[in-house]
């Protein structure tokens, strides 16, 4: 029997590839959240200024 030579393809296992992909996706989601955080804060401030969930009771 011949021994297989390690190639670049077999250097990483499937589990390592999945972990690396999860880290990349997680990093992208975190970057998106950080980038959108000022907009979310502004929207929450507007929501609170308009009365929040109790605003429809006030106008009846």
Model pLDDT for residues 3-50, shown as the tens digit of each residue: 666 655 567 899 999 999 999 999 999 999 999 999 999 999 999 888
Cβ(51)–Cβ(58) below 8 Å: yes
* pLDDT bracket for residue 53 (50, 70, 90): confident
Among residues 6, 25, 7, 23, which one has the least CA distance to residue 15? 23
pTM, two decimals, is: 0.55
């Amino acid at each position: 029997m011949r021994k297989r030579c390690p190639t670049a393809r077999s250097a990483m296992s499937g589990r390592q590839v999945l972990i690396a992909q999860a880290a990349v996706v997680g990093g992208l989601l975190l970057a998106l959240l950080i980038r959108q955080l000022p907009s979310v804060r502004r929207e929450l401030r507007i929501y609170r200024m308009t009365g929040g969930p109790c605003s429809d009771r006030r106008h009846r």
